[in-house]
Structure 1
Amino acid sequence: MRSKTAIALIAAGLVAILLGIGFRTIWAPPETLSASYPAGDSTAPVTVIEPAVFGVHDERVDISVEADGEFLLAVGRAGDVDAWVGKAAHNSITGVDGGQLQAETVKGDAEVPNPAGSDLWVSEETAEGQADHRWIAPADGEWSILLAADGKQPAPTAVTVSWPNDNSAPWGIVLVIVGALLVVLGLALAALARRGGPGLDGGQPADRGAAAEASGSTASGTAEGEPTRGGLRLRMADSVRPVLAVAAAGLLATTALPAYAGGTAAPKESGGSYPVLLDGQLNRILDSVEAAVTAGDSARDAKELAPRVGGSALTLRKANYTVRAENPDVAAPAPVSAEPLKTAMVGTTAAWPRTAVAVTQGKENPVPQVIVLSQAGPRENYKMVEAVQMLPGTTFPQVASEGGGTPAVAADSAEGLLHAPQQALEVLAANLNSGKNQDKVGKNTFAEQIRAFQDSQVKANKNADITFSRKVEPDSVRALKTADGGAMVFGYIRNVMSSVPAEAGATVELSDEFAALAGKSSTTSGVDVTYGESVAVYVPPAGAKEPISVIGVAQDLVDAKLK
């Protein structure tokens, strides 16, 4: 009987080994799983691959897209992609279920602007017919992929997502190990059976049997009622059955090819605020701004500025070009350089308008320049709305950075600040007008030069009454937090110098610069000359003893109108 048991163990072991090898080869799961969405007849101009799709695997997800003709594949924050799509008709690929990509088509506008070149995209690529994209999240947060042709033609919908599959087949290894142990045990029993040793099938020695009869005990040496050696053999045979059962269960479990295990992967939680621009986006935007400004300054043509310059920066440069057309000796505005980038403040507010600030100093800039960028809406690109030169002796405050971004401050919010941003600019405006608020504004060269200029104008024009008035443009006010709890505030102040004849019928002569804008060289009714003053000021946190600091300014003549 021991020989039969040995044979059974060896046979069971070999079966287990073969099954284990089969699980690792013939019945092994595929190395890669995939899910597809077929090319349909949708006419929507945009397709969005939602964040949940990328959750099918933690390490690697590959996206394959097929289309008729050229198309764009752009990566952006999920919220930014949704905002750009807006009310447009679009295909939304929402997740994976049952080995298939799940999608829906949302009705809306049949056409959208061409999304290529949007500042919202962290990366974009153009392909012809087919594109393969290895998904890597650019940073923390939720991200989406936008697919589009040109905004008018239907967007691609033939999308396949693939990811690595766990094909390690651990049961295969277990069965091989168990099988090997069974074979070894079977061979050991067979060797003992051949040797005919005590306690084996060769029978008990006669003297042991006689001794057993003499003692009145059973042949097995156990108490009466317990199983004999025949029972022992039965239990050894039964011990093989669990191994075979395990092998059979493993075969049933792994012969079928596994599919993605149900449901749409839940998107990762956003978990707080993120910077609205990554470093690569900011650098790309600054390069575009520099190119537009360089082209405009070279041609003295404001049309060249339009794609990347707006706000007070456009107002000041446009007026400068007009004045210089008649007076070549008038100084040109300071050039704008994208690098070297000394520091940056990037807002974390998802709503629009959005703000980012860069401090650079090119070779032609004697002092660092503060460039304020603003994005009016999701389908608009960032424009430089201010470009101010830092005053000698000033230091740009340390930037607050929460997850790489800087919290914005509402123009009318004084929470945690010595002054609300707009109020701080109004305090400065009053100080520049008449010297008021001396205790609230720190000493600075700009204020000293402004008041000296104003005094000289009054003294030089005895036949005119001259007054100065300033107004903060509310829409221009932007503020971002600094590391110490204060804020950097940026804005535009309109400074109107009003001149009227001191006596009826007297003539007020206009300078060449004023005449270039007013259209006449003299007036008997008076003239309003407007200067634009872009400013960057630091507002300390609430409770601070130090006053407002003027960090940078840009001033230029922008208008002259006869009364």
Structure 2
Amino acid sequence: MRFVLAIVAFVVAAVMIVAGIAQRTVFAPPTHIEAGTSVSGDPRYVVVDGSVLNAHPGQQTLTVTGAPDGAKQVVAYGRTADVKAWLGDQKYVEVGYRTATGKLTTKNVTPKPGTKDEGAADEGAADGSTATPSPAATPSASAGAASAGAASGSTSGDAAKTAGPNPAGSDLWLEEFDGEAAQVTRMNIPDDVSVIVASDGTKAAPSRVTVTWPVDSSTPWAFPLIIGGIVLLLIGIALYLWGLYAHRRSRGPRRKSGPKMPKLPKAPKYKPTAMIETTSRGRRSTRRARVIIPAALAGVLALTGCTAGTGAATTPTKTATPLATEAPDAKDQLPPAVTVPQLERIVKRVSESAAQADAQASPDLAKVRFTGPALQLREANYAIRAKKSDEPALPAIPASPIVLSLPQATDAWPRTVAAVIETPKDAKGTAQAPIAITMVQETPRDNYQVEYAVSLEPKAKVPNLAPASIGSAVVPPDSKLLALPPQKVAAAYGDILMNGDKSQYAKLFSAEGDTLRTQVGADWKAKQKAAVPATASLEFTSQTGAGTDVAMATNDSGAIVWTDLQESQVLKVVEAGAEVSAGATAAALTGVASSKTGIESTFGYQLAFYVPPAGSDAKITLLGFSQGMIAAKQL
């Protein structure tokens, strides 16, 4: 029997080991699924929709080849609506996926101005033209030429000669890969995100696109089968050795047996006598049995605690039913203008551009990433530093870390994003105030530009804001839901700087922690006027600057308001033959050190306020500011 069991163990072990090895070799599943296509016609842009990349589960790997210049190829992805908006009037090839065959398809798309995009073609559709959003404004001359050509109905040959926009370096993309890094990219994007493949806008895009998805090639039973087979093999060997040992032992010499023992006599059969009482049979005995059996059953039931007919055994137990709550529909929620990683990349680019412009004191370089009041102040600072060597430069824009992100929740343009960046310590180890910047993207093809850059007040308390993953709404400039409409905040604060506590708006604003009011407020202005000689006069006026009033909602129905205020300081000669000094800073802008008529200097104030909701007892608080001379002229 032991030999039989050993043979069975050997056979089963061999089957298990072979099956385990086969799962890892002969019958091993594929490690990936691959689908590719070649793009004909040398298009400048190729778009791969997110639904194509999600045709199979798992992380997608996109491989592009065949670019005319591998160093200029670009692979980027962003929200599908943003990709289509950036393309605008540009022709592109849309890559689809045919589920029946598992192959990629291509379709030429020619946008039509003024119509909604319907470029999401059915799988395997024939080449044709579909509609896309209206062409977006193009910041560059080359892109503008492309838009003009498309709007005027130019032929495809003429369009091919016109350079298209370059997608490289656009702030619109969630992630971007350039050059060799764009050949093989791994991503895991949702259905509402698309990938754009291109070169520099002048040359054709890569002609070969391949998408690869991973497949679960694990063999969970292979290792247990192999180990189990080995264990069973050892058991079979043990059984075989045991059987062999027992067999050899049974074949050894045997001792002869002695004479047989005599048989014992049989005992007489037992017969009951009449003296033994037999069990009575009849109706009485049956009746006793009927009584004893239920009594015994009742006792057993009593001992086990199970009594028939009790309400506890038949009454069902009530369980709590969870209340169904309706979650907000994600379709009704506008997406944030940027994600946090996207904002970090944008701020880093802004920091690098600002550092380059500040180092060369170049207004042209500053225009790349600055606009509005922020650009105006930097241009003036560059002009002053060119003639006044001891003039300090404006605070640099740090690259990181971002301690607060506040993107606008929108899918349209222009888009606004605010961020607070921690500033490193200066050369002496002194802590510096964080920088709060407000950036605006005018069109899909424009990059974000800094419109306001302020240093936060030491005691500034930023109110609760919406998380960066949701974004904030932009409050209209004339909103009456705030303690003061955003478009009136600058003028009201300017009146306070002129008149102090006598201003009609003094009760609306908090003076605590307002260092700008201490520096250039009514008391400071009074001292400046007192220091002017009798041969001259000094007057101050304020007006709202040309900058856009930006207001973003807070969680308490208030808003953070960025606004532009300008103050003019007019030093005028009032006595014939007298002369007034322009001052070193004004002299750098006017080119004159003194004047017999007068000097008018204009100062710009970039201001950030917290404005509470209407009806609140809270006051308008200055969160931060940046100020400096922006213009000067001789009267």
Displacement after TM superposition at 1:464 (Å): 3.1
Query: 2:398 is paired with a residue of what secondary structure?
Result: coil
Q: Distance in 1 between matches of 2:395 and 2:186?
A: 43
Instruction: Name the counterpart of 1:86.
Output: 88
Q: Distance in 2 between matches of 1:391 and 1:516?
A: 29
Instruction: Name the counterpart of 1:510.
Output: 582
What do the CA deviations read for 1:505-548 (whole angstroms, capped 9, x no partner)? 65333112111111222334433211010111001122211221
Deviation larger for 451-460 or 159-168: 159-168
Instruction: Name the counterpart of 2:198.
Output: 148
Instruction: Name the counterpart of 2:555.
Output: 483
Displacement after TM superposition at 1:126 (Å): 2.6
Instruction: Name the counterpart of 2:509.
Output: 441
Q: Distance in 2 between matches of 1:445 and 1:128?
A: 52
Displacement after TM superposition at 1:504 (Å): 5.8
| Structure 1 residues 158 and 510: alpha-carbon distance in aligned structure 2, compared to 1, 3 A threshold | same
The answer to whether the aligner puts 1:472 opposite 2:471 as a matched pair is no
CA RMSD of aligned residues (A): 3.2
Q: Distance in 1 between matches of 2:618 and 2:104?
A: 60
Instruction: Name the counterpart of 1:413.
Output: 479
The answer to whether the aligner puts 1:519 opposite 2:591 as a matched pair is yes
Match of 1:339 among 391, 400, 417: 400
Instruction: Name the counterpart of 1:200.
Output: none
Match of 1:457 among 512, 519, 528: 528
Match of 1:535 among 588, 597, 607: 607
Displacement after TM superposition at 1:278 (Å): 1.8
**For residues 59-98 of structure 1, what are the structure 2 equivalents within 5 Å?**
59-69=58-68, 70=70, 71-96=73-98, 98=100
Q: Distance in 1 between matches of 2:582 and 2:485?
A: 39
Instruction: Name the counterpart of 1:374.
Output: 440
Match of 1:123 among 140, 153, 175: 175
| Structure 1 residues 167 and 295: alpha-carbon distance in aligned structure 2, compared to 1, 3 A threshold | closer
Query: 2:444 is paired with a residue of what secondary structure?
Result: coil
Q: Is the 8 A contact 2:94 2:106 kept in 1?
A: yes
Q: Distance in 1 between matches of 2:352 and 2:424?
A: 13
Q: Distance in 2 between matches of 1:276 and 1:361?
A: 24
Q: Distance in 1 between matches of 2:476 and 2:46?
A: 35
Displacement after TM superposition at 1:165 (Å): 7.3
Identify, as 1 or 2, the structure richer in strand.
1
Instruction: Name the counterpart of 1:178.
Output: none
Instruction: Name the counterpart of 2:52.
Output: 53
What do the CA deviations read for 1:129-185 (whole angstroms, capped 9, x no partner)? 983333302xx77211011011011223432334467999xxxxxxxxxxxxxxxxx
Q: Distance in 1 between matches of 2:579 and 2:193?
A: 66
Tell me the number of residue pairs that the alignment of Structure 1 and Structure 2 aligns: 439
Structure 2 unmatched ranges of 5 or more: 1-24, 112-145, 147-158, 219-328
Query: 2:506 is paired with a residue of what secondary structure?
Result: coil
Q: Distance in 2 between matches of 1:132 and 1:478?
A: 41
Letter of the 1:88 partner, please give it: Q
| Structure 1 residues 454 and 129: alpha-carbon distance in aligned structure 2, compared to 1, 3 A threshold | closer
Displacement after TM superposition at 1:500 (Å): 3.0
Displacement after TM superposition at 1:30 (Å): 7.2
Q: Distance in 2 between matches of 1:505 and 1:141?
A: 77
Match of 2:424 among 356, 362, 368: 362
What do the CA deviations read for 1:426-464 (whole angstroms, capped 9, x no partner)? 322222233321011111221232123322332222333
Letter of the 2:483 partner, please give it: L
Structure 1 vs Structure 2: percent identity of aligned residues? 31
Query: 2:169 is paired with a residue of what secondary structure?
Result: coil
Q: Distance in 2 between matches of 1:505 and 1:352?
A: 57
Instruction: Name the counterpart of 1:431.
Output: 496
Letter of the 1:136 partner, please give it: N
Q: Distance in 2 between matches of 1:285 and 1:135?
A: 20
Letter of the 2:583 partner, please give it: S
Q: Distance in 2 between matches of 1:271 and 1:95?
A: 29
Letter of the 1:479 partner, please give it: A
| Structure 1 residues 506 and 346: alpha-carbon distance in aligned structure 2, compared to 1, 3 A threshold | same
Instruction: Name the counterpart of 2:459.
Output: 393
Q: Distance in 2 between matches of 1:120 and 1:504?
A: 61
Q: Distance in 1 between matches of 2:588 and 2:567?
A: 18
| Structure 1 residues 330 and 29: alpha-carbon distance in aligned structure 2, compared to 1, 3 A threshold | closer
Letter of the 1:412 partner, please give it: D
Q: Is the 8 A contact 1:275 1:405 kept in 2?
A: yes
Q: Distance in 2 between matches of 1:103 and 1:39?
A: 7
**For residues 89-108 of structure 1, what are the structure 2 equivalents within 5 Å?**
89-96=91-98, 98-99=100-101, 100-107=103-110
Instruction: Name the counterpart of 1:254.
Output: none
Q: Is the 8 A contact 2:595 2:634 kept in 1?
A: yes
Deviation larger for 62-71 or 544-553: 62-71
Q: Is the 8 A contact 1:141 1:270 kept in 2?
A: no
